[in-house]
Amino acid sequence: MRRVTLALLLVSTEAGAAAGTHLGDSSRAAALAGSMTARTGDAATLVENPAGLSDVTEPMVMISAQGARLEQWFARTDEPRDDRGRWLGSFGLAVATPLPGPEWLSRFRVGFALDLPAEHALRVRVLPRRDAPLSPIYDGRPDRLSTVLGLGWRALDSLHVGAAVTLTPALDTPTDVTYVAGRGDTPDEEVVVRLDRNLRYAVAPLFGIRSDPWPFLSLGLAYRAPSISRASGDSRTAAGGILADDPIDYFQMWNPAELAAGVAVKPGADLGISADAVWSRWSEMRDGFNQRLAQPFESTVSLRGGVEWRGVRAVALRAGYAFEPTPIPEQVGDTNYLGADTHTLALGGGIDLRELTGAPLKLDAHVRAQLGGRQHADKRISALTDAQPDVPGRQIDNFGYPGFESQSHLLQAGLTLTLFVGKESKP
Amino acid sequence: MRSSASGSSLPGVRQSLGIAALLCVACGGPPPPAPSAVISADPASVCLGDDFATEIALDAGDSQSHLTLVPVAPDPDEPPLALSWSFAGAEHRIVEGDVHAQTLLVTTRGDRPLHVSLHVENSEGGEADALLSIAVTPCP
């Protein structure tokens, strides 16, 4: 196996989807297992469907906090488990407001959401080799700063349209190494290294539409472009007769492109039921060096559903379930990606103090469990790269040989405080 | 076969420099000068099912107290590196030496690769790690 060193820029948090990270949903969205495409939106549902922004009728600020425990282990066949668990935490801020002015302008809303990691402002991970066990769901996706800017438009009373962009950090890393004989007193002083590092933003657009043909039925559709960070740049080394020009192109796919379709029904005045189907284009997944995978990931369709009951004054109770099939094929070759089909169970509730005390506040809470199945892989010698091609015979040094198992569970709890900070406008 | 955290080739140096630069972005002050960790293994592979028959010599002697861009003779007055070996994968036995020695002899059951890790620390607190896998190969 070729030895490689991978440096990835990871801006760390661990949170949800208010701005597009893995765990940072608002408590309402989390408790409904993310089935928000056709539901009434708010400042924190820009990623699920930016069209929901047009439901905002007064300026609002949403502040969220989440904590989670990732239980994850990896074990080669007949070896002890390697515990890869960790604690995660994040904070979220989402703001939205209707635009003031004439009637046509007041049909627009603008929104902003930010997911912020609790632990690191900047996290750099260096993986020692290409076959190191890696979870594309939990190792990177929760660990990033993410920002969303959105615009919602109530085109008709029953037609809502929205667009947004997510901003994710990326890094420019041009590097130049030259050797200038006689420049210094020691060989080290004769080496000139120029490192330029520029942090910039990668932009991914989001589009959404929702129609409410009848008061009891809503239909929604949302497209999310892939969210990708890169660390890239020229890397040139010149020393005497040695000249190497080897560009750096490190790659991290946070989220694949997704197309979500949803339906929400209200069988009664106090009850709302929603269901989403989300197609995720995992087949475009590439490795950390921006190369196609020898065993490509498979695109998936996940299902999400949620129920909300408002039978008691000012109180909402919620429950949700989701099924996320794994995009990872059996890891018989060089790579050792970790992951299995996952079931999500969520519960939550909220209280609207406007209805009880008149205070312009709403408080929501949730608990959520993402329960992964057990992954099993048996390596095929014929699918493994020869670690030493210059030595007779096939040399096997893969980190996952002769096979492995893994499992991941994520247990999360969170709170969202919504402040209504302005005057309500006509919907 | 050698595995190195720093490497002796220029591309290896470049990679390490890039990583060092990124790490510097992530912390507040300059880190202590880094050593280099180098594992040499002979042989670097054994037959599948070797069953502790082949002695493998592991040597950390090419590790240096300070990572340099070009080969430099070690400073004779430099305190020795603190070394620590660890193993994962195949069952193994240490035949000679210990997990803090510069050289040691090990054998392995050979039913799977033996993943050898070396951690080094210099007198200034700089640390480096290297990982080398002793491969297995189906033998006739």
Nearest to A370 by CA among A407, A347, A340, A342: A342
Span of A9-23, A111-125, B126-140 with lowest mean pLDDT: A9-23
Q: Please tell me the distance in Å from B127's CA to the nearest CA on chain A.
A: 15
Say if residue A111 is exposed, middle or buried (CB neighbours under 10 Å; 0-12, 13-18, 19+): buried
B-chain residues within 8 Å CB-CB of A402? 111-112
Contact at 8 Å (CB) between A33 and A39?
no
CB pairs under 8 A between A and B: 114
Q: Please tell me the distance in Å from A395's CA to the nearest CA on chain B.
A: 5
Is the predicted pLDDT of residue B55 greater than 50, yes or no?
yes
Q: CA angle, corner A315, sides to A311 and A320, nearest 5?
A: 80
Nearest residue of B to residue A395 by CA position? Answer: B137
Q: Report pLDDT for A1.
A: 37
Is the predicted pLDDT of residue A376 greater than 60, yes or no?
yes
Is the predicted pLDDT of residue A233 greater than 90, yes or no?
no
Q: CA angle, corner A387, sides to A384 and A389, nearest 5?
A: 105
Q: Report pLDDT for A390.
A: 85
A-contacting residues in B 65-104 (Cβ below 8 Å): 68-72, 88-89
Contact at 8 Å (CB) between A363 and A353?
yes
Q: Report pLDDT for A124.
A: 52
Q: Which residue has the higher pLDDT, A7 or A183?
A: A183
- A74-98 average pLDDT score: 93
pTM for this predicted structure: 0.82
Q: Report pLDDT for B73.
A: 75
B-chain residues within 8 Å CB-CB of A9? 22
Contact at 8 Å (CB) between B69 and B59?
no
- Percent of chain A clearing pLDDT 90 (strictly above): 59
Q: Report pLDDT for A137.
A: 85
Contact at 8 Å (CB) between A164 and B1?
no
Residue type, position A246, single letter: D
- B56-78 average pLDDT score: 83
Contact at 8 Å (CB) between A275 and A36?
no
Q: Which residue has the higher pLDDT, A226 or A252?
A: A226
Contacts of A189 (CB under 8 A, 6+ apart): A183
Nearest residue of B to residue A192 by CA position? Answer: B69
Is the predicted pLDDT of residue A18 greater than 90, yes or no?
no
DSSP B34: P
B-chain residues within 8 Å CB-CB of A126? 19, 23
Instruction: Name which of A9, A196, A395 to mutate to probe chain B: the one with the most chain B Cβ atoms within 10 A of its Cβ.
Output: A395
A-chain residues within 8 Å CB-CB of B1? 388
Query: DSSP string spanning A100-121?
Result: PSSTTGGGEEEEEEEEEESS-S
Contacts of A341 (CB under 8 A, 6+ apart): A323, A324, A325, A326, A372, A373
Cis peptide before B43 (omega within 30 of 0): yes
Say if residue B79 is exposed, middle or buried (CB neighbours under 10 Å; 0-12, 13-18, 19+): exposed
In DSSP terms, B106 is beta-bridged to: B56, B94
Neighbour count for residue A421 (Cβ, 10 Å): 12
Q: Which tokens sit at B40?
A: 């040499």
B-contacting residues in A 102-161 (Cβ below 8 Å): 120, 122-124, 126, 128-129
Q: String of b and e for A59-69 (b: at least 16 CB within 10 Å)?
A: bbbbbbbbbbe
Left if phi > 0, otherwise alpha if psi is -120 to 50, otherwise beta: which for A267? alpha
Q: Please tell me the distance in Å from A393's CA to the nearest CA on chain B.
A: 6
Contact at 8 Å (CB) between B109 and B69?
no
DSSP A32: T
* A399-410 pLDDT tens trace: 999 999 999 999
Q: Report pLDDT for A30.
A: 95
Backbone angles phi, psi at A128, to 5 degrees: -70, -25
8 Å CB contact of A197 and B21: yes
Q: How many CA atoms lie within 13 A of B58 on its CB side?
A: 37
Nearest to B121 by CA among B76, B80, B81: B81
Q: Report pLDDT for B3.
A: 58
* Average pLDDT of chain A to the nearest whole number: 86
Nearest residue of A to residue B90 by CA position? Answer: A79
What is the torsional sign of CA A283, A25, A275, A51? negative
Q: Which residue has the higher pLDDT, A9 or A159?
A: A159
Contact at 8 Å (CB) between A420 and A360?
yes
Nearest to A398 by CA among B41, B87, B90, B112: B112
Who among A195, A397, A401 is closest to B21 (CB)? A195
Contacts of B10 (CB under 8 A, 6+ apart): A177, A237, A239, A242, A244
Q: Report pLDDT for A364.
A: 97
8 Å CB contact of A401 and B112: yes
